[in-house]
């Protein structure tokens, strides 16, 4: 039950209907369901990481600093799309749960949606972090993780409308440097997307990865394929095997 003080700050109409649905595919149900899976895969533990979905002219966003695996549909924020990325003000939200703040990843998710994504996933997967450390000698705008001649590369698109990468192609994922605050990664993400317009993911050094897709299924399977490849690369490195031919 909300206190009198909560009532005072609650919007007159909080559009709760936007997150209420019996459909398991509704974004307000899917985000908690996906985050439970991602938690079990080590992608969103300790409140890190998250996911966001664009559905028609609405963006569904998780709250900040919560146990992502325990999230419920009523905890989800909603933005009208398109929306202003800056300033990220409370009034930009057409639905905001009491006593919660929207994810610090919001401007990064919005950057992926500006790029045409339907879903964006942010993980703190240790495999993603490790590959950024293995290529740490490379800094600056050209830093990339590269891998070739591994079957799972075929799970990553060549670019929008260009089909999937082939077995003999080289997959390149740009790496940007981490910043003290999540939202300050936004300009680095934008720059990497401009430099690599066909990419569907950007690694963040010593932090994790942002992966997006045209829809939820594509974002999820692309993120799974990348995580598989990162783990493989780390294990190959341990065995002294080069992962780029
Ligand atoms: C373990 S804290 C991690 C956060 O600083 C951030 O990197 C993150 O991924 C999640 O931010 P959040 O605002 O909780 O959605
Ligand atoms: Zn993060």
ipTM, two decimals, is: 0.98
Half-sphere exposure of 173 (CA within 13 A, CB side): 29
Across the range 143-147, mean pLDDT stands at 95
Q: What is the pLDDT of residues 208-224, one digit of tens each?
A: 999 999 999 999 999 99
The Cα 67–Cα 36 span in angstroms is: 10
pLDDT band at residue 85, thresholds of 50, 70 and 90?
confident
- 146 as an active site residue: the answer is no
Q: What is the pLDDT of residue 244?
A: 79
- Residues in contact with ligand 1 by the CB-under-6-Å rule are 46-50, 64-65, 103-105, 122, 182
Residue 217 burial (10 A CB sphere; 0-12, 13-18, 19+)? exposed
Q: What is the pLDDT of residues 182-205, one digit of tens each?
A: 999 999 999 999 999 999 999 999
Which residue, judged by its Cα, is nearest atom 6 of ligand 1? 48
CB 117 within 8 A of CB 219: yes
Q: What is the pLDDT of residue 1?
A: 42
Q: How far is the CA of 50 from the centre of ligand 1 (A)?
A: 8
Mean pLDDT of the chain, nearest integer: 93
The Cα 45–Cα 41 span in angstroms is: 9
Picking from 142, 146, 122, the residue whose alpha carbon sits closest to that of residue 204 is 122
Across the range 102-109, mean pLDDT stands at 96
pTM of the model as a whole: 0.94
CA dihedral 194, 196, 197, 198 (to 10 degrees): -170
The Cα 80–Cα 59 span in angstroms is: 6
Across the range 93-117, mean pLDDT stands at 96
Token readout for 96 is 């905001």
Q: What is the pLDDT of residue 5?
A: 44
Pick the CATH number of 20-239 from 3.40.50.2300, 3.30.1490.20, 3.40.225.10, 3.50.50.60: 3.40.225.10
Window from 79-88, 163-172, 179-188 with minimum mean pLDDT: 79-88
Q: What is the pLDDT of residue 4?
A: 43
């Amino acid at each position: 039950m909300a206190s009198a003080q909560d009532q005072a700050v609650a919007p007159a109409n909080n559009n709760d209907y936007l997150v209420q649905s019996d459909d398991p595919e509704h974004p307000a149900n899917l985000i908690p369901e996906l985050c439970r899976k991602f938690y079990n895969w080590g992608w969103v533990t300790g409140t890190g990481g998250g996911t966001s979905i664009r559905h028609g002219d609405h963006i569904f966003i998780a709250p900040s600093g919560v146990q992502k695996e325990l999230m419920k549909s009523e905890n989800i924020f909603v933005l009208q799309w398109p929306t202003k990325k800056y300033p990220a003000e409370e009034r930009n939200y057409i639905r905001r749960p009491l006593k919660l703040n929207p994810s610090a990843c919001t401007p990064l998710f919005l950057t992926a949606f500006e790029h045409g994504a339907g879903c964006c996933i942010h993980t703190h997967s240790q495999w993603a972090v490790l590959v950024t450390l293995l290529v740490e000698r490379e800094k600056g705008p050209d830093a990339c993780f590269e891998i070739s001649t591994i079957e799972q590369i075929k799970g990553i698109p060549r670019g929008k409308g260009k089909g999937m990468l082939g077995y003999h192609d080289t997959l390149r994922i740009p790496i940007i440097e981490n910043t003290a605050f999540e939202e300050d990664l936004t300009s680095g993400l934008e720059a990497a997307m401009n430099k690599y317009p066909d990419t569907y993911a950007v690694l963040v050094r010593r932090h994790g990865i942002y992966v997006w897709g045209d829809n939820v299924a594509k974002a999820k399977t692309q993120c799974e394929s990348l995580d598989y490849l990162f783990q493989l690369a780390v294990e190959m490195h341990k065995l002294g095997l080069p992962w780029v031919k």
